[in-house]
Amino acid sequence: MTALSCSTPQVTSHIYTLRMELYQTSDDQARYAFEIILTACVLCMLAGQLFQVLRAVMLAPSRRNMRAFRVALSWVDLASNVLMVACAFLWWDFSQNHAKWVLNG
């Protein structure tokens, strides 16, 4: 009778839940470009929202004529845009101050 040999299984793949080395490959650099574009879109949405608020304030001299502020959807839209800006700020803070930058070459 021969003894059964037990071997340790070898792991051949890795699961990255959060890589701390940002923007290392060409795919990462493409993602970085899209992050810049997304941040610009978020800032444009916020600027548009603030422009609408300023226009409503300028066109309505009295408080009772400002119907836009009585609609709940306006407040939801404003809150959504503020949360998007907060998320963009948190991501850029993380990527610039806490994650490791690895340069190619």
Q: Could you read off the pLDDT of 30-61 as tens digits, one per residue?
A: 888 999 999 999 999 989 888 887 887 777 66
Give dist(CA 102, CA 23) in Å, integer: 7
Can you give the pLDDT at residue 61? Answer: 65
For residues 95 and 20, is the Cβ–Cβ distance under 8 A? no
Name the pTM for this structure: 0.64
> Could you please report the per-residue DSSP string of 57-94?
HHH-SSGGG-GGGTSHHHHHHHHHHHHHHHHHHHHHHH
> Could you please report the per-residue DSSP string of 5-30?
PP-PPPP-----SS-SEES-SHHHHH
Confidence class for position 83, pLDDT limits 50, 70, 90: very high
Position 105 pLDDT exceeds 50:
no
Confidence class for position 104, pLDDT limits 50, 70, 90: very low
Give dist(CA 38, CA 72) in Å, integer: 26
Phi, psi of 2 (to 5 degrees): -100, 150
Higher pLDDT: 29 or 61? It is 29
